[in-house]
Amino acid sequence: MKIEDFYKDGKNIIDAEKFFDENGIVDDNKVSFLIEEKPIVPLPKDPERQNFFAIKENRDRYEVFPERLPTKGLLPQPIDAHEMIGTFENNHTIYLTIANAYNKAMVKIESLEARIAELENK
Burial (Cβ within 10 Å: 0-12, 13-18, ≥19) of residue 92: middle
Look at 88 and 94; give whichever has higher pLDDT: 94
For the stretch 4-16, what's the b/e string if a residue is b when 16 or more beta carbons lie within 10 angstroms of its beta carbon? Answer: eebeeeeeeeeee
Please enumerate in sequence order all residues whose Cβ is within 8 A of that of 67, keeping only pairs 6 or more positions apart, or say none. Answer: 106
Decide if pLDDT at 115 tops 90: yes
Type of residue found at 85: I
**Residue type at position 16:** A
d(Cα 34, Cα 4) in Å, to the nearest integer?
A: 11
Give pLDDT tens digits for 42-92: 767 777 766 666 666 666 788 899 999 999 899 998 888 888 888 888 888
Residues in CB range of 102: below 8 A, 6 or more apart: 68, 69
Query: What average pLDDT does the segment 27-35 reach?
Result: 84
26 CB contacts (<8 Å, ≥6 apart)? 19, 20
What is the C-alpha to C-alpha distance for residues 20 and 34, in angstroms, rounded to an integer? 13
Could you report the per-residue pLDDT of 32-41, keeping only the tens digit for each?
888 788 777 6
